[in-house]
Structure 1
Amino acid sequence: MTLLRALGAGEIEHPGGSLLEHVRRVGELLGDWDARPALRLAGLCHALYGTDGFPSALLPLARRPQLAAAIGAEAEALVYFYASCDRKVSYPALLDDPPLFRDRFSGRVLHPGPQRLRDFAELTAANELDIARVSPEFRRQRGGELRALLTRLRPLLSEAAWAECRAVLF
């Protein structure tokens, strides 16, 4: 949290308060779902490089080693993977055989393994569900699209994550 504060996450507006409050809630939600520590840390830092849906990067990619030193290499790799998702290309193809994932930073097309896909799906669900919980406007505008996405990702989600999907979106 110290790094997030130092980078200004508390000063950036986000549904439900600041970006700092949002990432804290995402990390807590992943904890509620019994996610392993690296995934919880990735939840806290998931927006540092910006995302396809939140372009404000607080940390340039050149400083990836700094984040890895702060949260560990595994958690940082999850943050990068999440932030690098080209949603338009990747979301429809995550369950293909083989799964397809396009890195929006490098343009590379990847075929992530099962654990990486599960982590990505859990982090995606936690991020989007937090916003849906705190913003009725977001639920009205994007609820149908989000229900469709998370229903498609259902095979990758834990039972706890899926229960939260149902509670918030259905």
Structure 2
Amino acid sequence: MDMSTDVRDWLQQRGADTVRHPGGTLYAHLCRVEERLGKLGHSDHVCTAGLTHAAYSTDGFDLALVFWQDRGALRDLVGAEAEELVYLYGSCDRDRTWERLAETKQVADRFTGETRELTTEELTPFVDLSIVNELDVFEQAPAVLEKNRVYFQELFTAWRPLASAPVAEEVDRLFAVSG
């Protein structure tokens, strides 16, 4: 059994396949994010983070599969690099982070209240995971994009220099096609 299978089993044991989410279930969403990150050329640890990105809940989805204080459990399952990205994504206070991220390169932690400046190596996977997550939601629930089009177009334009080229191209396609 490979790690992806183990992680998928873990997600199902925690009920991710029973939680409603745009496009079906949280489990289906997590799997789509993982697969898309892989197709866009990301490493295994980024893809695994994509598969588990909502484990601690997120600022936009308030259901934890495991408590953030128990980071060791997820770290043991997915590895330190993937777990660190999952924590960063899940702990991100979007109101305090997203609009200024391109300028400050800082993420405000909604769990602890602390702010952390990301390295270049951390920034692109964080931005790509954030964008790919939203792209999946938009594709599954187009009304979400229509309601928030201006906000996300401005945000993703600001983030473009931080994103990988394949993810930036995905964003360009989305706004060219739906704009």
TM over 0.5: yes
53-62 or 29-38, which deviates more = 53-62
Please provide the CA RMSD for this pair.
Answer: 1.1
Q: Which residue does the alignment assign to 2:5?
A: none
SS in 2 for 1:53: coil
AA paired with 2:69?
A: A
Instruction: Quote the offset at 1:94 in angstroms.
Output: 1.3
Cα distance in structure 1, aligned partners of 2:34 and 2:149: 22
Amino acid at match of 1:28: E
The answer to whether structure 1 residue 111 and structure 2 residue 122 are counterparts is no
In the alignment, which residue of structure 1 is the partner of 2:34? 27
Equivalent residue, structure 1, for 2:3: none
CA contact (8 A) 1:132 1:168 kept: no
Question: What are the superposed Cα offsets for residues 25-69 of structure 1, whole Å, 9 maximum, x if unpaired?
Answer: 000110011001110000000001011111111111132111111
Query: C-alpha offsets along residues 99-126 of structure 1, whole Å, 9 cap, x if unaligned?
Result: 2221110000111111111111000011
- Please report how far the alpha carbon of residue 158 of structure 1 lies from its aligned counterpart in structure 2 after TM superposition: 1.3
The share of aligned pairs that are identical, in percent, is: 36
The separation in 2 between residues aligned to 1:90 and 1:136, in whole angstroms, is 24
Of the three residues 134, 141, 145, the one matched with 1:135 is 141
Select which of 85, 103, 109 maps to 2:92.
85
**What SS is found at the alignment partner of 2:42?**
coil
Q: Tell me the equivalent position of 1:159.
A: 165
Q: TM-score, with normalisation over the residues of structure 1?
A: 0.95
Structure 2: any 5+ residue segments left out of the alignment? 1-7
Separation in structure 1 between the aligned mates of residue 28 and residue 102 of structure 2, nearest angstrom? 31
Gaps of 5+ in 1: none
Matched, 1:76 2:83: yes
Matches of 2:31 and 2:141, distance apart in 1: 16
- How far off is 1:140 after superposition? 1.3
- Give 1:106's aligned amino acid: T
Separation in 2 of the partners of 1:169 and 1:67?
35
Kindly tell me the number of residue pairs found equivalent between the two proteins. Answer: 169
Q: Secondary structure at the match of 1:153?
A: helix
CA contact (8 A) 1:132 1:143 kept: no
Note the C-alpha offset of 1:74.
0.7
